[in-house]
Amino acid sequence: FDPRGRRLAVATYGGAWLWYARIAEQKPEILKWAGSHIALAWSPDGKFLMSAMQENQLHGWRVADDKNLKMGGYPAKVKSLAFLSKGQMLATSGANGVVVWPFTGPAGPLGKQAAEVGYDESALVARVAGDPGSRRVAAGLEDGRVWICDLTGQQIDMLKAEKGESISTLAFSRDARRLAWGDEAGGGGVFDL
């Protein structure tokens, strides 16, 4: 659902379909882009809808005018995306570090470059989580490690240094004082931040 709870977005082959809530008979608005879309995230202001794709890329739309945002260059499939810093940044997995796209101004990331934070040659980032109210981002790696970083100073704090199964889920608590993680073997934990 969009941030206001009025529209439902569904990822599909060939784009994303948007429906309004509480309207029985309607045809969806279709945001088209070739390929298989596997995960969606609305920007906190509802102006952008971002999609992780089956290919090693990210795609998005500026919803007001259906403007396409093609964002490629990933070495692996993007499995996780999260907005942070009141929607001014989008963090994604799919690389050896967290890829952070700027979403400032009416054009969002159009014409802007992404930054990569926490580059580690030995493992790909499998999951990301963003603190909606600050510039903190967390990463869960394919080798089981978990770290957090405040992008203001870009200091990486390793929360889980022991290696293991790939991190499959990662989330901040509503008040952003705790970070929960889970791995593909069913392990999990919570960090007090």
Looking at the fold, whether 67 and 16 belong to one and the same domain comes out as yes
Closest CA to 190 of 173, 175, 168: 173
Number of domains in the chain: 2
CA gyration radius for the chain?
Answer: 17
60 and 129 share one domain: no
Specify the CATH number for the domain of residue 142: 2.130.10.10
Its pTM stands at 0.91
Per-residue pLDDT tens digits of the chain, which is 193 residues long: 999 999 999 999 999 999 998 888 899 999 999 999 999 999 999 999 999 999 999 999 999 998 999 888 899 999 999 999 999 999 999 999 999 999 988 888 888 899 999 999 999 999 999 999 999 999 999 999 999 999 998 899 999 999 999 999 999 999 999 999 999 999 999 999 9
Domain end: 29, 45, 72, which one?
72
Domain identity same for 63 and 143:
no
Do 86 and 157 fall into the same domain? yes
Provide the 3-class DSSP secondary structure of residue 174: coil
The set of residues, in sequence order, having a beta carbon less than 8 Å from that of 100 and lying 6+ positions away, is: 89, 90, 91, 92, 114, 115, 116, 117, 137, 151
Domain that holds residue 136: 77-193
Write down the pLDDT at residue 21.
Answer: 87
